[in-house]
Amino acid sequence: MPTTTSEDTGQEPVGTPPNAGAAFFDVDNTMMRGASLFHVARKMYQRRAFRMRDVAGFAWKQLKFRLRGENLNDVHSIRESALAFATGIAVSDVETLGDEVYDEMIASRIWPGTRALASQHIMAGRKVWLVTGTPIEVARVIADRLGLTGALGTVGEITDGYYTGQLVGDFLHGPAKADAIVALAASEGLDLADCWAYSDSYNDIPLLTAVGHPVAINPDSRLRQHAKARHWPVYDFRSGRRAATLGLRTATGAGVVYGIWRSLDKFRNR
């Protein structure tokens, strides 16, 4: 079992009331290994919506993402390609596709440690939301399968039950994620100072700084440096490393230890 080093002195009062704050989790490389949109593209290729060379391009970007972290140019390139190919696709098909993508490609890639953290927030009476650039239809499936409260994702414009290839609002990435949780907090009556946010990417600094409890998970090099300079908790489930523990009473229990152990076990097997 891995050792635990704590650099976070914040403690949560015993007997936290239900719905005290919320937790917001990024998806790609935070809740799951790799990029969810890549797997959506794979499934669409199986449905003959993409050409092989298109999927090959997505696969190359997926490999770079897993090795080096998120790159804005690649993210926007995939987004533009996905929007173009989604034009004229029925919403009902994408909703069905979301279930298939989760069962066949995403379920086995969920990080046990991150899932344990989300579960501990649920047990503490908090609402837990995914915040991701992935299409909202797929994001909702992931949230539902994980037993979370809900999801904030990229919303495609729909006319007569079909996607037009345009977006409703912004692509949910970077500053748009922060804007989304600010709006959600206002509608839900949440105090963001009492909320948590989790991400792997330096591009999600706006999301992380919008809450009182930012946490880096599987961080890219820039986010790791940023988090270390500000003494943010850092978890790295990719190799079993753990740079700091979360200042959350329930998250330091058996659930997180089990999650880390599972991550280590999978890493050893690979």
Q: Could you give the residue numbers annotated as active site?
A: 26, 28
The CA–CA distances, whole Å, from 44 to 37, 74, 83, 101, 211 equal 10, 19, 12, 10, 36
Query: Residue 215: beta bridge partners?
Result: 198
237-240 own/partner pairs: CB under 8 Å, 24+ apart: 237/111, 237/112, 237/113, 237/114, 237/263, 238/263, 238/267, 239/267, 240/2, 240/264, 240/267
Cα 223 to Cα 217: distance, rounded to the nearest angstrom: 9
Token pair, residue 145, equals 């399968």
Q: How many residues does the chain have?
A: 270
Q: For tokens 């600010």, name the residue.
A: 182
Cα 120 to Cα 46: distance, rounded to the nearest angstrom: 37
Q: For tokens 């046990």, name the residue.
A: 112
